Amino acid sequence: MTDKTAPQRQLARAPRGFPDKREGLVHAQRQMVETVTEVYRRWGFEALETSAFEYADALGKFLPDDDRPNAGVFSLQDDDEQWMALRYDLTAPLARFAAENWQGIPKPFRRYAAGPVWRNEKPGLGRFREFIQCDADTVGAPGLHADAEMVAMGAEAMRALGMQSGEFVIRINTRRLLNGVLEGIGANTEAVRLTILRALDKLDRLGSDGVADLLGEGRMDESGDFTKGAGLDKDRVSKVLAFATAGRETRSETLEALGSTAGDTEEGRTGLSELEAIASALEALGAPEGDVQLDPSVVRGLEYYTGPVYEAELLKTVEDEKGRPVQIGSVGGGGRYDDLIARFTGERVPATGFSIGISRLTTALALAGEQEALNGPVVVLNLDRGNPAEALKLASELRAAGIRAEPYMGGSGMRPQMKYADRRGAPAVVIIGEDEIAKGVVTIKDLKVGAAKAKAIESNEEWREERPGQFEADRADMIARVRDIVEAAQ
């Protein structure tokens, strides 16, 4: 029989898409942000930090026209009845800041920012509702060399994060080039254009045949679901695919291929000139061909950007927690957005930016097994729980010498304390008991060396006799011996 008067316990659960982060992930993300922002600073960008909240009407991109603007963003109504929303990216706050401070900032205004953003959308593998971005933007630079600089700097940042040749690529396209193709085939309605964009965005996943179906009458997937196509005839489908697959090994070869597939319209010629100018600037900036490619199949975000658009992609395949192959794909990107600040000023202000998705990239590296294991602190075991003074003193001496250390603060015995040190990822433990105090020594155990040597030991008796990785050291030598272990474990 249950006691109906007993308080009901709450169910401990985290909201979907809002991940908890332990030290290894926190450290990895912090290091990644520091690495990327150091590249941004070296290229002359200055830091800007804006609030997590913005007035909802200043964000614009995701907001619907209804009484509660909560589609795509997380919003609340302030006590003055104005709607505020958590920022969904770092660009919209920059546009608001630039418009608000236009007279007092240097122009062009070059800023970088890093921090969490929030999106009210469905989470999935590598897709969160709260995640960290690291952006750089130039506001007030109309020349295409500013776009090339963004891409070249983005490639340098990916290199600084440890990416090697063939492991990533930044792809570039321009809205005007695609507009020229769409005009050339008579795709003049917004609905048809959007269907074509969505079809081209699936080129990597479905291949040319699958995209051809989506450009034509439609496609039935493996589950039997049918997706209606753009309704283009075979001739127009061929023209769109010839354009989308015009990417070649080098930027010059791609430009040559695009010259015959981009269509003979003013918009198409302008778009081709844009890519030629960007390619020339990339050459001057020394951006490697393998790191930065011209790719007419890049369409993500083209309805948002006003000119060139870029996407950073991881090329390697990783496995999820069930061992299934996963292509992480995009981990960053950006483009030119000359209309954003005009929402506040009424005047078009040229702007371009690049963003790296820190949370998505750390997820990819963790799945690939490339996230470095982080050592925990040295743990000083407390064998005299009635008087922990010696353990406290040793831990203080280690910290004073610049070594991360902690005394065991629990109430358990020797074996649980060793298990605790192992779970903390400690490189070493320091043991001091009555015998050690009497001899003026400490016992030190190198946990990593000990674990490696223990694999070759076949019996408990042999293990107790060998005590792999364990040794005594004079109290005066403790710091030097522990430091050697910690440095070897890094």
C-alpha–C-alpha distance, residues 357 and 126, integer Å: 10
pLDDT at 106: 95
- Which H or E run contains 321? none
C-alpha–C-alpha distance, residues 77 and 85, integer Å: 9
CATH no. of 378-489: 3.40.50.800
Query: Is residue 196 within 8 Å of residue 182, measured between CB atoms?
Result: yes
pLDDT at 383: 85
pLDDT at 465: 53
Q: What DSSP string describes 31-88?
A: HHHHHHHHHHHHTT-EE----SEEEHHHH-SS--SSSS--SBS-EEE-TTS-EEEE-S
C-alpha–C-alpha distance, residues 83 and 69, integer Å: 8
Instruction: Output the pTM of the full model.
Output: 0.85
C-alpha–C-alpha distance, residues 95 and 99, integer Å: 6
Q: What DSSP string describes 147-165?
A: HHHHHHHHHHHHHHTT--T
Query: Is residue 94 within 8 Å of residue 48, measured between CB atoms?
Result: yes
Query: Is residue 329 within 8 Å of residue 347, measured between CB atoms?
Result: no
pLDDT at 452: 64
- Mention every residue, 6+ apart, whose C-beta is less than 8 A from residue 170: 151, 154, 155, 158, 291, 292, 293, 310, 311, 312, 313, 333
Query: Is residue 133 within 8 Å of residue 334, measured between CB atoms?
Result: no
C-alpha–C-alpha distance, residues 337 and 140, integer Å: 11
pLDDT at 375: 86
The tens place of each residue's pLDDT in the chain, 490 residues long, gives: 556 666 788 899 999 999 899 888 899 999 999 999 999 999 999 999 999 999 988 887 655 545 556 678 899 999 998 999 999 999 999 999 999 999 999 999 999 999 999 998 888 777 889 999 999 999 999 999 999 999 999 999 999 999 999 999 999 999 889 889 999 899 888 889 889 988 998 888 889 999 999 999 999 888 888 899 999 999 999 999 999 999 999 999 999 999 888 768 898 899 999 999 999 999 999 999 999 999 998 987 666 788 999 999 998 777 766 777 777 788 999 999 998 888 888 889 999 999 999 998 888 877 777 666 778 999 999 887 778 899 999 999 999 999 999 999 988 888 999 999 999 999 999 998 888 888 999 999 999 886 665 555 554 554 455 566 889 999 999 999 999 999 988 7
C-alpha–C-alpha distance, residues 253 and 366, integer Å: 36
pLDDT at 463: 44
Instruction: Specify the CATH superfamily of domain 23-52+87-187+232-367.
Output: Bira Bifunctional Protein; Domain 2 (3.30.930.10)
Domain boundaries, the chain: 23-52+87-187+232-367, 378-489
